[in-house]
Amino acid sequence: MLVWMWACGIPAQGVEPAAPEPEPVVEEAPPVAPAPEPVVEPFPAEGPFRRELLPGLVVAAYLPPEIDDIGYARPSPEVWAGADERLFVVTVDPARFEVVYRSKLAGDAGVGTADSWAREHGLVVAFNPGMFEPGAEATGYTRTSTFVSQPAVRRQSLYRSFFVVEGGKVDMLDIRPPSGSGKYAPVTELPAALRSRLEGADFVAQSLSILRDGAPAYPPRKNQWSELAYGVDDQGRLVVVFSRRPYEMRELGARVAALGLGIRDLLHGEGGPEASLVVRVEGLEWFAVGSYETGFFGNSNRRLWGLPAVLGVRPK
């Protein structure tokens, strides 16, 4: 009988029931502290440096190399006294980064400085895509696959450089603008094969040539200015060049060529106080602004100016 009662779970008379087993104590793991934000050491305030911020994205600064003076027009030294004279060069591998064009004419958000454009659109580098007309349309032929800022080709003979993005690759085309009267020519005046390539590209921008096939391309001029230029090198990478120190553009081209970096072609992005270069990568926010332009602005600018459009890159 005793066996039967235990088997049924009923304790025998006079036998104390077994005490329930205590619940296991589960200790809560201590909270995991969030990973610290990555800290990138600021760029040196003076002297040359080279920094790979991300695979395929390099920012460097160089002292301007010495070149022979062949009669360059130069401002008096006091005009740019205290300005950073280094040449900044940003190199971008298009296999790892996509080139992005944004314009207020296309209804894009973020209209403002290059920095605000970069924040709004996740750009790690942002800079001037070229000069603009009073209505914010580009001065030279400029289009993306879905938006046209300037549908006509600038006739001026200096506008021979066409920066092109096709299938994730970057290139610079040397195209002599159509001759004739008027400021602009319809794109139909270009040869059919060339027109087809421009219209089928992911992005095209026409501007003034500063460096062509590794040699200075700008003719002699009396004016000088701070400069933001961009183009391609001999390895097919996007290259952005910035100089706050004002130059006649043929001298700037000569100095860039003398760096020996393999920069093949450069076109004019913007000059004077509007020249802007912004880098925003993993805890680092850095920008460079232009200032001096003959007959327009002195060496006092310290802020980014608003831009109606921006060109930049972001990781693929």
- What single string gives the DSSP state of each residue in the chain? -HHHHHHTT-PPTT-PPPPPPPPPP-PPPPPPPPPPPP--PPPPSSS-EEEEEETTEEEEEEPPPP---SS-----GGGGTT---PEEEEEE-TTTEEEEEEEGGGT-S--BSHHHHHHHHT-SEEE----B-TTS-BSS-EEESS-EEE-SEE--TT--EEEEEETTEEEEEE-PPPPSSSSEE-GGGS-HHHHHHHHHSSEEEEE-EEEETTEE-PPP-S--EEEEEEEEETTS-EEEEEEEEEE-HHHHHHHHHHT-S-EEEEEEEEEGGG-EEEEEETTEEEEEE---BTTTB-S---SPPPBSEEEEEEE-
User: Which long-range contacts (C-beta less than 8 Å, at least 24 apart) are formed by 40-47?
Assistant: 40/281, 40/282, 40/283, 40/284, 42/284, 42/286, 43/284, 43/286, 46/84, 46/86, 47/86
Indicate whether 278 pLDDT > 80: yes
- When the pLDDT of each residue in the chain is averaged and rounded to a whole number, the result is 90
Spans of all domains in the chain: 53-315
Of 21-35, 198-212, 294-308, which gets the smallest average pLDDT?
A: 21-35
For residue 13, the model assigns a pLDDT of: 47
Say which residue, 32 or 143, is predicted with more confidence: 143
Prediction pTM value: 0.87
**With bands split at pLDDT 50, 70 and 90, how would you rate the model's confidence at 6?**
very low
**With bands split at pLDDT 50, 70 and 90, how would you rate the model's confidence at 282?**
confident
